[in-house]
């Protein structure tokens, strides 16, 4: 159950994020002083975490990054209820997403070998950024996660069941 707090941003007038999504789960994740993306997001297996491949866009845009002073947080995993273009979904989440890649790594570790959990094993799991969409897909054929990044220009239609990861505190309140 979401605890809708006052400090959450209001959804823009005339739009209701809840018409597209339903809450799938909430996940608490820890923090860290430093997270080097290249140490985690690479092909292979490490500590039970299987990444089958990292897409070239994700590699080029992110692997040189280091995140610092990441605080513990609660993430909300939302499930898409009806088909929608990435660009329409991004209008709801890109400006408030601010998800540290460390948080994604924490969730992936919990489902490192394809175990059931908050992330979908059958549909894409997305994080919207201001300049694109990070994708985590379980690939049963290779027994590992694919981590990639798409541009909004790709105009991909997402199917029901696709999940979007947002910080709980940035989740818009219900609009009446």
Domain extents for the chain? Answer: 24-168
- DSSP code for 109: H
Quick one: how far is CA 19 from the chain centroid? 19
Q: In the structure, what pLDDT confidence band is assigned to residue 1 with cuts at 50, 70 and 90?
A: very low
Are 124 and 117 contacting, i.e. CB atoms less than 8 angstroms apart? Answer: no
What is the pLDDT, as a whole number, of residue 94?
57
**Higher-confidence position of 27 and 48:** 27
> What pLDDT does residue 96 have?
56
Query: How far is residue 50's CA from residue 48's CA, in Å, rounded to a whole number?
Result: 6
Query: According to the model, what pLDDT value does residue 91 have?
Result: 73
For position 97, what pLDDT does the model report? 59
pLDDT in tens, 77-136: 999 999 988 877 777 665 555 788 999 999 999 999 999 999 999 999 998 887 788 999
Predicted TM-score of the model (pTM): 0.83
Query: Mean pLDDT, the chain, as a whole number?
Result: 83
Strand order in the sheet with 144-150: 21-29, 73-80, 163-167, 125-129, 132-139, 144-150, 49-54, 44-46
């Amino acid at each position: 159950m979401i605890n809708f707090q006052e400090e959450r941003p209001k959804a823009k007038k005339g739009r209701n994020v809840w018409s597209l999504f339903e809450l799938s789960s909430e996940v608490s994740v820890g923090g860290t002083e430093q997270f080097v993306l290249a140490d985690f997001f690479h092909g292979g297996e490490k500590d039970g975490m299987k990444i089958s491949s990292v897409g070239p866009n994700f590699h080029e845009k992110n692997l040189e990054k280091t995140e610092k002073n990441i605080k513990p947080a609660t993430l909300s995993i939302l499930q898409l209820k009806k088909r929608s273009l990435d660009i329409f979904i991004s209008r709801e989440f890109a400006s408030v997403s601010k998800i540290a890649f460390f948080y994604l790594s924490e969730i992936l570790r919990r489902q490192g070998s394809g175990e059931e959990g908050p992330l979908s094993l059958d549909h894409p799991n997305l994080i919207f950024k201001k300049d694109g969409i990070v994708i985590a897909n379980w690939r049963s054929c290779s027994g590992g996660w694919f981590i990639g990044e798409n541009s909004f220009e790709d105009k991909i239609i997402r199917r029901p069941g696709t999940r979007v990861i947002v910080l709980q505190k940035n989740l818009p309140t219900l609009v009446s």
